[in-house]
Homo-oligomer: A and B are copies of this chain.
Amino acid sequence: MKRMNAQARRVEVLAETVKQIREKGMQAVRIADVADAMDVSSALIIYHFETKERLLIDALTYAAERDLLKLGRIMRGSGSPAELLMAALEWYAPTGQARGWQIWVDAWSAAMRDVALAEVLVDLHRQWNKAISSVIDAGVLDGVFQSSNSLEAATRLTSFLDGLAVRMVVHKEPISRADLRAWLVRQVAWELAVDQSALGAVAPEK
């Protein structure tokens, strides 16, 4: 019987829960699934999280925080506003089987009826929006971008990507990385009145 301090164990459980949600979907995860995968008792999970609902919310919060940390790392990197913007958006964008996205589609569905969860998502989104609009503002200051309302522009861009995520994750439409990138560059270029080449477009479309 391994004993850990509560803090470390909590994180371990959260990580496993996120993994299970990815695999089985949010509504199908059972406490026993998480416990079995960690080779501990179900009671251990309840001991640390009180209820299943809290566990799920905490797990999604944990996933959101990790995503935001990564976003922070991207935004703090060196590069022009255009480069940073594209780096952030490309990371946000669904790619491949978009496994990372499934959890958020699940979360959308659950959040419609769960206020606490909705708050987590709203906050996550607010931070994304803030980050994106900040680089847009920086670009506007530099004179490379043009935008009368960077927050709205950010909303439009992320909404577009959310919609594409649905196509890929739900409809299993295989949009290639190259296509997605091209669409994104096109959209950003138009939205911010900037040339596609400034966004790192490989070759202009004919």
| A binding-site residues for B, Cβ under 8 Å | 24-28, 102, 105-106, 108-113, 118, 121-122, 125, 155-156, 158-164, 166-167, 169-173, 183, 187, 190
Checking B24, B25, B105, B190 against A190 with a beta-carbon cut-off of 8 angstroms, the contacting residue is B190
Residue of B nearest to A170 (CB): B108
| Docked complex Cα distance between A28 and B113 (Å) | 10
Q: How many copies of this chain does the complex contain?
A: 2
Are A170 and B25 in touch, CB under 8 angstroms? no
Task: Tell me which residues across on chain B come within 8 A of A105, comparing CB atoms.
Answer: 108-109, 112
| Docked complex Cα distance between A162 and B110 (Å) | 17
Task: Tell me which residues across on chain B come within 8 A of A173, comparing CB atoms.
Answer: 155
Checking B102, B163, B170 against A121 with a beta-carbon cut-off of 8 angstroms, the contacting residue is B170
| Docked complex Cα distance between A27 and B113 (Å) | 11
List 8 A-B residue pairs with CB atoms under 8 Å apart, sorted by A's residue number.
A27-B109, A106-B109, A106-B112, A108-B170, A112-B169, A155-B167, A162-B162, A190-B190
Task: Tell me which residues across on chain B come within 8 A of A169, comparing CB atoms.
Answer: 108, 112
Are A164 and B159 in touch, CB under 8 angstroms? yes
Are B166 and A159 in touch, CB under 8 angstroms? yes
- Cβ distance A188 to chain B, nearest Cβ, rounded Å: 12
Asked, given contacts A105-B109, A106-B109, whether A163 binds B167 with beta carbons under 8 Å apart, the answer is: no
| Docked complex Cα distance between A46 and B188 (Å) | 51
Are A109 and B156 in touch, CB under 8 angstroms? no
